[in-house]
Amino acid sequence: MRILKDFKIPNFKFPKFKMDGLEKIDEMKVEYNPEQHMAVKTDKRNYEATTYKTIKEVFNRSTELYKDRTFILEKFNHKEEKFSVITYEQFRKDVLGLGTGIRTLLKLKKEPIAIIGENTYHWYVSYMTMLCSEGIALPIDKELPPNEIENVIKRSKAKAVIYSAKKEEAIKKVKDNLPEVEYFIKMNSDDELDGKDVGANYLIAKGTEYIEAGVNDFESIEIDPEEFKVLIFTSGTTSQAKGVMICNRNLAQNINAVSAYVHLSEEDRLFSVLPLHHTYESTIGFLLPMAVGASIAVCEGLKYIVPNLKETHPTAMLAVPLLIENLYKKINENIVKSKKDKLVKSMIHVTNALKSVNVDIKRKIFSEIYDNLGGKIRIIVSAAAPIDAKIGKWVQDIGISFLQGYGLTETSPIAALTPEFDPKVGSAGKPVICAEIKIDNPNENGEGEVLIKSETLMLGYYENEEATKEVIENGWFHSGDIGYMDEDGFLYITGRSKNVIVTQNGKNIYPEEIELLLGNVPEIKECMVYGKEDEGKELIISVKVIPNIEKIEEKYGKDVTDEKIHDIIWEEIKKVNKKLTSYKAIKHLEIKKDEFEKTTTMKIKRYAELKKNQQ
């Protein structure tokens, strides 16, 4: 699952661990008996799956059935001591109010509407409003620079933009270049309608007035499960970016599929730390918990992860490998400092042995670790990029279900997932119940391209039938990923056949887009952008460049040294970097003196060039 902005993980701080519980295992064995502490599920049959057809069905059922329960917890200001609590009932009122205000006051019905902002209650309201409307939601990555935001809005033909206060400056920069946008709606604002500008709270208030006067047009909209409802651009730098078209069925089937493998209830609370513009968080971190009446705690930001975990006591968290790896590293560093590492390893062996006979005392033994993660965490899901299997095994060893997911925006997003009752650390999970996965043209090791046929598969690429036909053949989606399946039906991803670069935290970067920008630099004759591992095994965006010596000599004279050529090219690259969002910025330059290996159609053989780096 390719996702997310360039995570800048803070230096997590945990108190020195005492690990007192480790030394009381004799007492604990007496307190526990096998009959009372059986595993939640010992067979490998799926849970009974939900059968939703549209997200509006989810919305109507949950906001009525769970109306008095907590839905969203959020601190709207870092100075607040406690999280604000929003109920399902309040969420329903705000969605119906905003939808009615947009439909009745602004006269927008079937038009695309862009949504851009950080994770906040107002984003949830905006997105659900669009899913329950006749229009099309356009979630935009808040990390995009203004030129990319403008490009995405133009290509989508959006008639309105809903934005957070933190994105106001970016919107101001592109506003005049977007004459086709009829309204700019500011989240959590009471501003009355003034030309094209209006506050979302004002629209909610006006919409509520209309509803109280008997206007129920928005609430009574019937949703076609097959109707194009969400548009997500894979990237925004150039016209190369593809817009993925998703319908209500895609999203509803994601909920149904995941509910067969993972049991969530109204007692669960998910911790929202990943960006909502991506389908991973917006579907599995928002729509899924809503479908079961669970609550969502919105993290204030990466540096607040640990205190927010302790304040909100979540039971489940969606994460990317980089986040999990850093938590693992910091916790274990503290255990070593406390000189408890040998004892912890011993207790892992003991508790694993006890769990094998259905006596699970891990939460008691490792209670101090749990307390630093909020005390109630029971599920951590890793997706977007590979993770070291030993880290997943450690998470399992301390008693937390470690699940892995696989998919793409095109599968909106879940195609495979680890069943919590049948974990297999290291795999990408099993195909979900509404999907089939097969390996195309496998080699002697069983590896080949991963093909997916699923009810969650996109409608196609926006205004790009040719690109759609290239990736979907006879109902099978060509993922571009290389993998194999074991005898138990679990999928393992071993590489990528597409050119996309996937960073450690899962962000997908399309090299062709950066190459097109570099192609405008006169001093560059040819180039190839790729991901290069640094000493810490993290991918950095790199480029091989064949300089245009003729142009360089015209401008700088004939006596330019190799070092000077490198400096000239690097200065031009820095100018290109300013046009890119931070995670796409080129960090490494290699001047290439020989020609690239090419196909008969004069395309660079990327695989052959990358292989040279390994020699």
Which CATH number is 517's domain given? 3.30.300.30
Domain boundary among 226, 260, 294: 260
The answer to whether residue 127 is domain-embedded is: yes
Which CATH number is 232's domain given? 3.40.50.12780
In the prediction, which pLDDT does 239 show?
A: 41
In the prediction, which pLDDT does 8 show?
A: 58
Q: What is the pLDDT of residues 384-418, one digit of tens each?
A: 777 888 999 999 999 999 999 999 999 999 999 99
In the prediction, which pLDDT does 120 show?
A: 98
> Averaged over 5-25, what is the pLDDT?
64
At 420, give phi and psi (nearest 5°).
Answer: -65, -20
Is residue 460 within 8 Å of 245, Cβ to Cβ? yes
The answer to whether residue 67 is domain-embedded is: no
In the prediction, which pLDDT does 36 show?
A: 41
The answer to whether residue 461 is domain-embedded is: no
In the prediction, which pLDDT does 395 show?
A: 97
Q: At 120, which amino acid appears? A: T
Q: Does residue 259 surpass a pLDDT of 90?
A: yes
In the prediction, which pLDDT does 285 show?
A: 97
The answer to whether residue 64 is domain-embedded is: no
In the prediction, which pLDDT does 443 show?
A: 83
Higher pLDDT, 301 or 43: 301
Please give the full DSSP string across 128-194, using - where no structure is assigned: HHHHTSSSEEEEE-TTS-HHHHHHHHHHHT-SEEEE-GGGHHHHHHHHTT-TT--EEEETT--PPPB
Higher pLDDT, 321 or 421: 421
The answer to whether residue 150 is domain-embedded is: yes
Could you tell me the pLDDT band of residue 459, with boundaries at 50, 70 and 90? very high
Is residue 59 within 8 Å of 290, Cβ to Cβ? yes
The answer to whether residue 405 is domain-embedded is: no
In the prediction, which pLDDT does 5 show?
A: 41
Q: Does residue 598 surpass a pLDDT of 80?
A: no
Which tokens is 452 given? 């997916």
| Mean pLDDT (the chain, rounded) | 90
Domain boundary among 203, 237, 260: 260
> Averaged over 495-512, what is the pLDDT?
75
In the prediction, which pLDDT does 21 show?
A: 58
Is residue 290 within 8 Å of 90, Cβ to Cβ? no
SS3 600: coil
Q: Does residue 152 surpass a pLDDT of 80?
A: yes
Domain boundary among 260, 294, 316: 260
Q: Does residue 29 surpass a pLDDT of 70?
A: no
> How many domains does the chain divide into?
2
What is the percentage of the chain residues whose pLDDT exceeds 70?
Answer: 92
> Averaged over 103-132, what is the pLDDT?
98
Could you tell me the pLDDT band of residue 236, with boundaries at 50, 70 and 90? very low
Residue 384 has what DSSP assignment? S
Rounded CA Rg of the chain: 26
The answer to whether residue 473 is domain-embedded is: no
The answer to whether residue 336 is domain-embedded is: no
Domain that holds residue 126: 72-260
> Averaged over 256-260, what is the pLDDT?
98
What is the percentage of the chain residues whose pLDDT exceeds 90?
Answer: 72
Is residue 581 within 8 Å of 145, Cβ to Cβ? yes
